[in-house]
Chain A
C-alpha cells in the first residue's frame, strides 16, 4: 500500500508529501505520524507540502487535524511550502487553519521549530501585536 515516508531527524520528524493526497493516504499518514511521534518521542513535526498542487476540504481539514494531534502529543507542527494556489483554495473553502504554524520553506520551518523548542516549547502561535 502507498505510504508517505516519515523521516526522523534528531528530535524532529520530517514528512514530505510528494504525491497527490487522497483521502485514504491522509488517514494513513495521520495514523503513522501519531504512532511515530509517540514511539520516537518527537518534539517537532515538519510537514512539507510544496509538491501538493490540489487540495480539497477534506485534505485541508486533515492537515489541521494532524497539526492539532501532534500538539496534543507535545510536538510542535509546522506546515511549510504551501503553494499560493493551495493557500487561496483553502481560504476560499473557509479553512484558514488557525491552529497551524506555517513557514515559507523547510529552512525557515526548521528555524521556527528550533526556536520554539528553545523557548520551552508548547507555545501557541502568538497572535501578533
Chain B
C-alpha cells in the first residue's frame, strides 16, 4: 500500500454508506432488541445522522482523536442520544452497543476493500476499533453522568417532599418527620419549620418523630437545635411519637431532653398544644 497518508476508513464509509447503514441497523435490532423500546424509523434516522457526522469527522481529522474539535458534532449527537437513552432506562452497555455494533459492518466493508493486504487490514481494523471504542466510552460516560443527575434530582425532591409542615389548628403546626435525620435534612427541616412559623404566626410546633427509625446522639442534637431555634423565634416545641425503644436509647445515650416537652403520641401533644393556646376539646353532650 503506497498511497495511504491517512486512514482509508473514511473512503470506505463514504463509498458504502447505505450498505453499512442497513447492516448496522440489522445488527442493532438483533443484538439489543431495541425494537420494542425504540422505533425502527427513529433508529434509522439516528444511525444515518451518526454515519454522516462520522464520515465528515473522519475526513477532516486524520488523527482519530475523538476529543478534538473536528468530532464535536459527533460527540454532541452521541451525548444527546446517551442522555435520552439513560432517561429511558437503558443500561450503559445497551447505550454503548449503539456505537460498538457498528464495528462488524465496518470491518466487513474494510475486508471487502483491502482484504488482500493483511497488514493494511489489521492496521485499519485497529484504527477503526480505536475510534469506535473511544466513542463508546464517551457514550458510557455521558450515560453515567445523566444517571447521576437524575439521582441527584430525585434526592432533592425527596428532601423537599419528606419535610412537610402542616397546620393543625390556628397557631399550632405539626412537623411529621419520616426517614433518617442527617445534617442536611435537619437544615431543611429547620428552615421550613421556622419559615412556616413566621408565615402562620404559630406559637406551638409539634415535631413528630414516629417515622424516624433511629435516634442517636447526632439526631437528638439536631432535634434540640431545631427546638432551640424555634424557641428563639417565640414558638414552643413539643416532641411527640417517641417509641419505647427510642426512649430507652435516649436515656442510655444520656441525651438531655428535659428542656423540651415530650409526648408519646401526636394526639397527646395536640391536646397539650390546644391547652397552651387556650382552646379546649370535649365531647358535645347530646341534648
Kindly provide the distance from the CB of B210 to the nearest chain A CB, expressed in whole angstroms: 20
| CB of B225 within 8 Å of the partner chain | yes
Task: Report if A97-B259 is in contact (Cβ < 8 Å); known contacts: A91-B225, A105-B201.
Answer: no
With the chains together, A83 CA to B197 CA distance in Å? 10
**Is B233 in the interface zone, CB < 8 Å from A?**
yes
Asked whether, in the complex, the Cβ of A88 is within 8 Å of the Cβ of B236, the reply is no
Query: Which B16-37 residues have a C-beta within 8 angstroms of A?
Result: none
A residues near B235, Cβ cutoff 8 Å:
104
Contact partner, B229, options A88, A98, A127, Cβ 8 Å: A88
A46-78 residues with Cβ-Cβ distance < 8 A to B are none
User: Known: A104-B203, A129-B261. Is A84-B233 also a contact (CB below 8 A)?
Assistant: yes
For the complex, is B231 an interface residue (Cβ under 8 Å from A)? yes
Most chain B CB within 10 A, of A81, A82, A100, is at A82
State whether the Cβ of B136 lies closer than 8 Å to any Cβ in chain A.
no
Identify the stretch in B96-104, B115-123, B161-169, B187-195 within 8 Å (CB) of chain A at 4 or more residues: B187-195
Supposing A84-B195, A128-B260, A128-B261 touch, asked if A90 and B232 sit within 8 A by C-beta, the answer is: yes
CB of B198 closer than 8 Å to a CB of A: yes
User: Of B229, B258, B259, B260, which one neighbours A87 at CB under 8 angstroms?
Assistant: B229
Across the interface, B233 reaches (CB within 8 A) one of A87, A98, A127, namely A87
B231 contacts A104, C-beta separation under 8 Å? no
**8 Å CB interface, B168-214 against A:** 190-191, 194-195, 197-198, 201-203
A101 to B233, alpha carbons, bound, how many Å?
10
When distances are taken between beta carbons in the complex, the residues of chain A under 8 Å from B225 are 91-92
A116 CB–B CB distance under 8 Å: no
Task: Say if the beta carbon of B230 comes within 8 Å of chain A.
Answer: yes
Residues of B83-101 contacting chain A, CB below 8 A: none
Interface residue tally for chain A (C-beta within 8 Å):
25
Q: A91-B225, A104-B201 are in contact. Are A80 and B232 (CB under 8 A)?
A: no
Contact across chains for A87 and B232 when beta carbons are under 8 A apart: yes
Report the minimal beta-carbon distance from A95 to chain B, rounded to whole angstroms: 9
B203 and A88 within 8 A (CB) = no
Query: What B residues does A127 contact at CB under 8 A?
Result: 258-259
- Closest beta carbon of chain B to A12's beta carbon, Å: 17
Q: A81 — which chain B residues lie within 8 A by C-beta?
A: 234
Query: Binary interface profile of B, 224-246, with partner A (CB < 8 Å = 1, else 0)?
Result: 01001111111110000000000
A80/B234 in contact, CB under 8 A: yes
Q: Decide: B234 and A103 in contact? CB cutoff 8 A.
A: yes
8 additional contacts, CB 8 Å, given A84-B197, A84-B198, A108-B201? A82-B232, A87-B230, A88-B190, A97-B232, A98-B259, A100-B232, A127-B258, A128-B259
Quote the shortest CB–CB distance from A59 to chain B (angstroms). Answer: 13
Tell me which residues across on chain A come within 8 A of B201, comparing CB atoms.
Answer: 104-105, 108
- The yes or no answer to A6 lying at the interface (CB within 8 A) is no
A92 to B232, CA, bound (A): 12
A82→B259 contact, CB < 8 A: no
Complexed CA–CA distance, A103 and B198 (Å): 11
| CA gap between A82 and B197 in the complex, in Å | 11
Residues of A within 8 A of B261 (CB): 128-129
Q: Quick one: closest A residue to B201, CB to CB? A: A104
Cβ-defined contact, B197 with A104, below 8 A: yes
